[in-house]
Amino acid sequence: MELWFTEKHTKTRGLSFQISKTLHHEESPFQVMDIVETPDFGRVMLLDDVVMVTDVDEFVYHEMITHVPLFSHPNPKHVLIIGGGDGGTLREVCKHHLVQTATLIEIDSMVIEGAKAYFPRIAEGFKSPKAQVIVDDGIKFLKECKTKYDVILIDSTDPVGPATGLFRSEFYQDCFNALNDDGILTVQSESPYIPDLVPIIRDMNQNLSAIFPIVRMYLASIQTYQAGLWSFQIASKRYDPIMDFQESVYLNDGLQLQYYNKELHRACFALPEFVLNIIK
């Protein structure tokens, strides 16, 4: 008998794939985690029945949330990651030769341990000497934060449950306060193809624009995320991610990546008209 899983994106659409084997099931105080083996996507981590990460296409999300802001800043020494318990964003941050410290704040230790056990290639950043991992509430951490960072990355789940507060204006203000005078914030901002998410994307853009002088939205194609098109928003105190792209730093790093490159850095900010209409 074939076993299939469907993640519903709306009441009438979703993503379906066959499951070869269930590898792990666990529940924490925050969410339910399932790790499954699939023919097309390798291992897949589900949180509350939503695809978080897959072996096959994780590199797109993790490279795009990380390298766009890091190569927009001339000297990103200290980086803070909120969420991202699978370790993929941490892995990408630690690749940069200019980065000295990469601090990850994850509310749910279950996700970290699940990634280490079943996604070792994704979780390899946890072994980096640059990495510091703190199990804590990211909202609380930033509100009480006394340290200043060059780049903050919000690698959150969808705006439900414990992640709801990560999409509020007060949280963005706390991010602003925790950044150096030339700091950059990047947040994942959902799929513009899903009608219920459009108001969230618009509100995020407006709230960030009320706090930061420079805000830009960019896109990436991720086949296992809702509708296959994902958005990010970058908010900067000083550097424009298009005009201030650090091409010499990029070339010096010589990173071997699978999605991001210097041409894509600029191109990802070219938005379709329907996306521009969302954030106008």
pLDDT in tens, 61-87: 999 999 999 999 999 999 999 999 999
Domain boundaries in the chain?
Answer: 3-54, 58-279
Q: Which of 183, 261, 189, 276 lies closest to 232 in space, CA to CA?
A: 189
Q: Which of 110, 21, 132, 76 lies closest to 253 in space, CA to CA?
A: 76
Q: Cα(92)–Cα(38) distance, rounded to whole angstroms?
A: 25
Tell whether the model's pLDDT for residue 219 goes beyond 80: yes
Task: Please provide the CATH number assigned to the domain covering 58-279.
Answer: 3.40.50.150
Residue with tokens 């805000």: 215
Residue 165's pLDDT band, with cuts at 50, 70 and 90, is: confident
Residue type (1 letter), 83: G
Tell whether the model's pLDDT for residue 160 goes beyond 80: no
Asked about 155 being catalytic, the answer comes back as yes
H or E element in which residue 205 lies: helix 198-209
Catalytic residue, chosen from 34, 86, 108, 155, is: 155
Cβ–Cβ under 8 Å, residues 264 and 212? no
The predicted model gives 221-239 an average pLDDT of 97
Count CA atoms within 13 Å of residue 240 on its CB side.
4
The per-residue pLDDT for range 197-209, each reduced to its tens digit, is 999 999 999 999 9
Alpha helices in the chain (DSSP H): 58-70, 88-93, 109-118, 138-143, 169-178, 198-209, 247-253, 262-267, 273-279
Report the pLDDT value the prediction gives residue 161, as an integer from 0 to 100.
73
Q: Cα(15)–Cα(5) distance, rounded to whole angstroms?
A: 8
Q: Which of 20, 19, 24, 23 lies closest to 5 in space, CA to CA?
A: 19
Tell me the residue length of the chain.
280
Count CA atoms within 13 Å of residue 233 on its CB side.
26
First to last CA, the chain: 49
Tell whether the model's pLDDT for residue 1 goes beyond 80: no
Task: Please provide the CATH number assigned to the domain covering 3-54.
Answer: 2.30.140.10
Q: Cα(76)–Cα(264) distance, rounded to whole angstroms?
A: 20
Tell whether the model's pLDDT for residue 162 goes beyond 80: no
Report the pLDDT value the prediction gives residue 51, as an integer from 0 to 100.
97
Cβ–Cβ under 8 Å, residues 65 and 222? no
Tell whether the model's pLDDT for residue 157 goes beyond 90: no
Tell whether the model's pLDDT for residue 166 goes beyond 90: no
The predicted model gives 245-257 an average pLDDT of 94
Q: Pairing between strand 50-54 and 42-47?
A: antiparallel
